[in-house]
Structure 1
Amino acid sequence: MTLQIDFWEVISMALSFLGMLAAGGKMLLTQIEKRLNERFQALEDARKDAEFSWTRLEREFLEFRADMPLNYVRREDYIRGQTVIEAKLDALYNKIEVSQGGHW
């Protein structure tokens, strides 16, 4: 039994096979491109969410810094105020002591 194929039939089969390979490759590349686009979109969405979070955090921090002087007193300012109050109390005590002449 002998199988005989003409040259043009071999060429047409080779071209058909190459066409199928090209179509399969194109489908594969289309799927890869689709998955890459989905990944890039997910990364872009994550970046936008992170950017929004950082912007919100920065805004809250700036609001905190603006409110801080209204709610808190620096240690040095408190000490200075206490020193003034104690000096006034000492002066008042001295005036009372002088006015009473030290008769306790």
Structure 2
Amino acid sequence: MTLQVEFWTVVSFLLTFMGFVGGLAKWLFSKTEERQAARFASLEQALQQSASNWASWKKNLCDLKRIYR
């Protein structure tokens, strides 16, 4: 049993497959980038909150020093 396929049919199948793989890779990279952006946003928010907490602690400490002088 032999399978005969024309050259241009094989070429079109290969191009279609390569396009599918390229589209899938592009989609996966975009999802990875979205997750990374969300992670960086949450880290930035945590950093700002931490800086705010440290600033309030510093202010309270300075107030205590001023009271006990």
Which TM class, normalised by the smaller chain length? over 0.9
- Normalised TM-score (structure 1): 0.64
Counting only pairs closer than 5 Å after superposition, residues 1-104 of structure 1 correspond to structure 2 as 1-69=1-69
Distance 2:11 2:61 in 1: 73
Counterpart residue type for residue 9 of structure 1: T
Q: Which runs of 4+ in 1 moved over 2 A?
A: none
Distance 1:6 1:56 in 2: 75
Q: Which protein shows a greater Rg?
A: 1
- Normalised TM-score (structure 2): 0.95
Counterpart residue type for residue 36 of structure 2: L
Query: Any gaps of 5 or more consecutive residues in structure 2?
Result: none
* SS of match in other structure, 2:3: coil
**TM-aligned CA deviation for residue 2 of structure 1:** 2.3
Counterpart residue type for residue 27 of structure 2: M
**TM-aligned CA deviation for residue 3 of structure 1:** 1.4
The percent identity for this pair of structures is 30
Query: Any gaps of 5 or more consecutive residues in structure 1?
Result: 70-104
